A and B are shown apart, each in its own frame.
Chain A
Amino acid sequence: MTLESEVQSLRQVPMFREIDPARLKLLAFTSERVGFAPGQLFFRQGDASDAAYVILAGRAQVVLDLPAGAFKIAELGTNDIVGEMGILSDTPRSASVIAEGEVTALRIDKRVFLELLGQFPQMSIAVMRELAKRLERTNARLAESSS
């Protein structure tokens, strides 16, 4: 797997879909490709948010650690992004993420990511658009559940 294939993966992420390929290449190049063993933690709930991950291959679970025990709240697959909210909002991890099997992911460092957003407004707008869409969906879902 090379940089080019990673750029292809990044293009599948809704947040990055509209970003210029040259920027995505820069984003990919400045990220690290890391492998996780089965059961290895990406990060633990409550940790400081230092990076976001795009899963290139394999599956991972998002787990909420509650006093009563761990609850699996979501499952992640290829081309899913995780941890991006934490680095944008500068808050600790709201849940833990654990590799289900062997997982390969692209680790996007928080500092580098913010650096790129600051440098390229087009990237910031793409990220904002995705966040706005998410908010809209949440609002719609709230409206559905309350009606």
Chain B
Amino acid sequence: MDKSLFRYIWRYSSREQLVIFAVILASLPFYFWSLDLPKSIVNDVIQAGAFKNGKTDAIFLEIAFTPPAFLGNWGRIVVFPGITVDQLGLLLGLSLMFLVLVLINGAFKYWINVAKGALGERMLRRLRFDLFAVTLRFTPNTLRTVKASETATIIKDEVEPIGGFIGDAFVQPLLLGTQALTAMVFILMQNVWLGLLAGAVVGVQFTVIPRMRRIQLRLGKKRQIASRRLAGRIGEIVDGMEAVHVHNATRWERAEIGERLYYLFDLRFRIYKWKFMVKFLNNLLAQITPFFFYVVGGYLALKGHLDIGQLVAVIGAYRDLPPPLKELIDWDQQRLDVQIKYDQIIQQFLPDRLLPPESMDEPGEIPSLDGPVAFKNLHVLDAHGGTLLEGVTLAWPYPARVALVGDTGPGPGVMARVLGRRIVDYGGSATIAGNELSQMPDSIAGRRVAYVGSEPILFPGTLRDNLVYGLRYAPRHQGEDGDDGEMQRILEAKRTGNPSDRLNDDWIDYQAAGVDGDEELDVQLIEILTELELADDVYRFGLSGLVDLDRQPELEEQVVEARHLLRAKLAEAGLERLVEPFDIDRYNRQASIGENLLFGASTAPSFSGRGLVSNPLLRAVLDSEELTDELVELGARIAETMTEIFRDLPPGHPLFDQFSFIAADDLQDYEDIMRRRSMRGTGALSREDRTRLLALPFDYIEPRHRLGFLNDKLRDRIVAARRALRDRLKGSLFENDLVLYDPDELCSAAPLRDNLLFGRVAHDIADAPSRITTLISEVVDELGLRQSVEVVGLGYQVGPAGRLLTPQQRAGVALGRCIVKRPDHFILNNAMTAYGDAQARRLLARLLDTHRERCIVAVMRQLHSPEDFDVVVEFDGAGARIVHGTDLSAVENGTHDGEAATDEAEAVGRERGSRDKVEAILAKGRS
């Protein structure tokens, strides 16, 4: 990126800048004409200037000119002779022309503003994208010192004012400069002395004010850094909220943020003082000039050196000078301001903090890395210059199962990080199949080497998205380009140096995963998750997930079939009472009043939670069925009971969240409503109060809450309202917000489990939920649907950073993501810390067994089962050596030539090494 903002702007927008400038120039004649026209209207028509000497008509719209004499004697050439009009006609004609000019000026202004805005936004997009692209190139070392939220504010907020400035960057000074210069020349032409006087004041303005503003800008720069740090700090605190609460550090953090805010205020305050001082001075200088004009000009006029007309003209012209000057100074201020901001931003993205751009390039062919791993005199230092690894020379063959063992010290982890390219500034050499790791581009290493650290990194999205994250190398274009919107999108991307890749294309490299398509990939993912002992979890996710019929159309019928089988099984076992099925003609006692009214699953907020009670359609139905009053009354009774029962619990008590209809924060509000009700009666409550009361009974389930509020008559009326709602829903605005239950159809908005049950589990039968879960499992297995359910589970949303998953599930996803891309080298750097000891060992043994044909490297504190490994590297301080298996580097340094050495070493690598060496390590570990 350019060091100078102006060079950056000019490089990418010179053409647009010139076009805008040309249009502005073209608009000027019309502008001046529109300024001139009122004068003609007043002078020629209203004051009858054109109708002097008894003329009763005038010529309007004559277009004629006289060529200069040196072109020959052409006389006056008339292009359009004009129309002869009377006074009223001329007034009308000139006024209409004024109107036309106003429209033309408006159109010009519109075009210029849009063009400037678009130019600014395009440059802003380019700048943001460039910054983001550079962020992707941060070296692992740089990343350690970069704060996520700081980078986010830089890319999002700090560049914003630069974008606003870009449209004016070149056009504004040119335009204002021309205007100011014209006024100056005009004054100079009237009187040189007065001209020089005005020039001197302008000179002072242009030298003193920018100097004063420089101080202001320095403060602004400090403020920019301070507010960026504030954003970073808040981000850190939010991320580390757990530690803040665990260690009762809220007061400390409050104090810290308070102090930062004071510093920001102080800077702002000082900036204000300077700013208004500058403003004062500016105004003073602008207004002191007329003072000089009156004094000096008046004196000159009295002495007869200047005629009065000239003086008036000079003062008149001077009125036009300050506005452009002021704007020019403002522009200069803005220029310095954004230049400083730009410099500050660029500071964060210096080349020495970045990986070379080639490392992001996409090579044509991806070489296989199925060769030995070799380290020659490997040196790694930590951030403070301490030695982590020193003089490590060793090599292992391909394929091999390698253990990096070290009880104390960072050695094994460091070597794993070098292999995973998480450390690239090492000394000496580290190669895979002859390719130096620090020089290897992402595109090769990302596909052929998989690295998992101890902290899995997940992105929000589905489980599937996270698992295939490592397969999204390049989009395969689907569908046609013909779409206008799409062409526009690509055009804009090209204009701003953004990628034209489409997110909706299929990005997944199925070949890399060894499958043919989406369906096979899902099966593969399920197999991998099963291998990682996550099958039950995915199955559970599946039952609570929504079926995506585009992905699994076959489930539409299968689920209904399973639903019927489940019903049959319940009947067979005499357990029908465990589930009360949905029946359009009957009130479902195990479901809430709200569910009974809707008899369907919502896809939008208009039919769920707080949206339900304010849904106009539902309210209309309740009104027409005369249920509103009754439900409000019910709500009042619930509120009464709840305020009575929960009154003595402190707010925030866990029992509130679990049992109360009313959130702890709302309890006081409801108490107030109840007080108003007892004073004036339900009928006198405001609409808002009634709405709040109405919200309560929607969640009421009689067998669960047992307040004894429902009777058969009310139930029948609710069922009637359900039908009325159905009728009104058809063709209404909300038609697609509610998917109605149908015994013979899959309800796409309801979870799979609800679809299988097609009813509600009885609340008042002991152990009903667990018995139903077992039955569902039986049905699913009987119909061979388990895998389909698990595929539904792949659509589970993992939440921000995967927080909706357990640590074990997160670790599993991080491992699965590596396994699915079938890397040549699979590096596990404490990837199993989330698991218990037994499970970690079991999983590692399974991975070692299933990945025999590649290189799998595991970091461990102690070697538990040496027979599982072909090569064991033992770390001791900053050194490391192979204690089990053959060190290939020793073979290479011998008399063999390279290729033969590799062959031999591979042969050796495959054979199990001597037991006694391993015993020695184990003994050492124990002692």
Q: A3-B707, A26-B646, A120-B648 are in contact. Are A33 and B655 (CB under 8 A)?
A: no
Counting CB contacts under 8 A, is B766 at the interface?
A: yes
Residue of A3, A4, A105 most packed against chain B (CB within 10 A) = A3
Q: Which of A29-46 contact B (CB under 8 A)?
A: 29-30, 32-36, 40, 42
From A23, A33, A42, A112, contact of B706 by CB (8 A): A33
A4 x B708 contact (CB < 8 A): yes
B575 and chain A: residue at smallest CB distance: A37
The complex places the Cα of A50 from the Cα of B479 at a distance, in Å, of 58
Counting CB contacts under 8 A, is A59 at the interface?
A: no
The complex places the Cα of A25 from the Cα of B642 at a distance, in Å, of 10
A6 x B706 contact (CB < 8 A): yes
Q: A22-B645, A119-B649, A119-B653 are in contact. Are A3 and B764 (CB under 8 A)?
A: no
Q: Which of B705-735 contact A (CB under 8 A)?
A: 705-708
Q: A26-B646, A120-B648 are in contact. Are A2 and B654 (CB under 8 A)?
A: no
The complex places the Cα of A30 from the Cα of B658 at a distance, in Å, of 9
Counting CB contacts under 8 A, is B703 at the interface?
A: yes
A42 x B766 contact (CB < 8 A): yes
Q: A2-B707, A33-B706 are in contact. Are A107 and B645 (CB under 8 A)?
A: no
B653 and chain A: residue at smallest CB distance: A119
Q: A4-B708, A119-B649 are in contact. Are A35 and B654 (CB under 8 A)?
A: no
A33 x B703 contact (CB < 8 A): yes
Residue of B655, B706, B708 most packed against chain A (CB within 10 A) = B706
| 0/1 string, B765-783, CB within 8 A of A gives 1 | 1110000000000000000
Counting CB contacts under 8 A, is B242 at the interface?
A: no
A29 x B766 contact (CB < 8 A): no
From A2, A22, A112, A120, contact of B708 by CB (8 A): A2
Counting CB contacts under 8 A, is B221 at the interface?
A: no
B654 x A115 contact (CB < 8 A): yes
The complex places the Cα of A81 from the Cα of B645 at a distance, in Å, of 22
Q: Which of A84-112 contact B (CB under 8 A)?
A: 104-105, 107, 112
The complex places the Cα of A36 from the Cα of B577 at a distance, in Å, of 12
A25 x B706 contact (CB < 8 A): no
B649 and chain A: residue at smallest CB distance: A119
- In whole Å, how far is A86's beta carbon from the nearest beta carbon of chain B? 17
B703 and chain A: residue at smallest CB distance: A33
Q: A2-B707, A4-B708, A26-B646 are in contact. Are A32 and B763 (CB under 8 A)?
A: yes
A120 and chain B: residue at smallest CB distance: B648
- In whole Å, how far is A30's beta carbon from the nearest beta carbon of chain B? 5
- In whole Å, how far is B45's beta carbon from the nearest beta carbon of chain A? 88
B766 x A26 contact (CB < 8 A): no
Count of residues in B whose CB is under 8 Å from the partner chain: 24
| 0/1 string, B118-140, CB within 8 A of A gives 1 | 00000000000000000000000
CB contacts (< 8 Å) of B641 on chain A: these are 3
A25 and chain B: residue at smallest CB distance: B645
CB contacts (< 8 Å) of B193 on chain A: these are none
- In whole Å, how far is B700's beta carbon from the nearest beta carbon of chain A? 12
- In whole Å, how far is B880's beta carbon from the nearest beta carbon of chain A? 48
A3 x B659 contact (CB < 8 A): no
Q: Which of B634-654 contact A (CB under 8 A)?
A: 641, 644-650, 653-654
CB contacts (< 8 Å) of A107 on chain B: these are 766
Q: A22-B645, A22-B648, A112-B655 are in contact. Are A34 and B764 (CB under 8 A)?
A: yes
Q: A35-B765, A36-B766, A120-B648 are in contact. Are A30 and B659 (CB under 8 A)?
A: yes
A27 and chain B: residue at smallest CB distance: B645
Residue of B641, B650, B766 most packed against chain A (CB within 10 A) = B766
CB contacts (< 8 Å) of A115 on chain B: these are 653-655
The complex places the Cα of A42 from the Cα of B587 at a distance, in Å, of 30
B707 x A25 contact (CB < 8 A): no
The complex places the Cα of A1 from the Cα of B659 at a distance, in Å, of 19
B707 x A26 contact (CB < 8 A): no
CB contacts (< 8 Å) of B764 on chain A: these are 32-35, 104
The complex places the Cα of A37 from the Cα of B646 at a distance, in Å, of 33
Residue of A30, A107, A116 most packed against chain B (CB within 10 A) = A30
CB contacts (< 8 Å) of B648 on chain A: these are 22-23, 26, 119-120
The complex places the Cα of A98 from the Cα of B649 at a distance, in Å, of 35
- In whole Å, how far is A132's beta carbon from the nearest beta carbon of chain B? 25
The complex places the Cα of A22 from the Cα of B703 at a distance, in Å, of 21
B706 x A1 contact (CB < 8 A): yes
The complex places the Cα of A12 from the Cα of B629 at a distance, in Å, of 38
- In whole Å, how far is B464's beta carbon from the nearest beta carbon of chain A? 35
A34 x B766 contact (CB < 8 A): yes
The complex places the Cα of A23 from the Cα of B648 at a distance, in Å, of 9
B659 x A22 contact (CB < 8 A): no
The complex places the Cα of A40 from the Cα of B705 at a distance, in Å, of 24
The complex places the Cα of A23 from the Cα of B645 at a distance, in Å, of 7
CB contacts (< 8 Å) of B653 on chain A: these are 115, 119
The complex places the Cα of A34 from the Cα of B762 at a distance, in Å, of 9
CB contacts (< 8 Å) of B658 on chain A: these are 30, 112
CB contacts (< 8 Å) of B763 on chain A: these are 32
Q: Which of B672-718 contact A (CB under 8 A)?
A: 703-708
12 contacts between A and B (CB under 8 A): A22-B644, A23-B648, A26-B648, A30-B655, A32-B704, A32-B763, A33-B706, A34-B764, A34-B765, A107-B766, A116-B655, A120-B648
- 10 closest A-B pairs (Cβ-Cβ)? A2-B708, A34-B766, A3-B706, A26-B645, A36-B766, A35-B765, A30-B659, A25-B645, A35-B764, A2-B706
* Additional A-B contact list (17), CB under 8 Å, known A3-B708, A22-B648, A30-B659: A2-B706, A3-B706, A22-B645, A26-B645, A26-B646, A26-B648, A29-B659, A30-B658, A33-B764, A34-B764, A34-B766, A35-B766, A40-B766, A107-B766, A115-B653, A115-B654, A119-B650
Which positions in B face A, CB cutoff 8 Å?
A: 641, 644-650, 653-655, 658-659, 703-708, 763-767
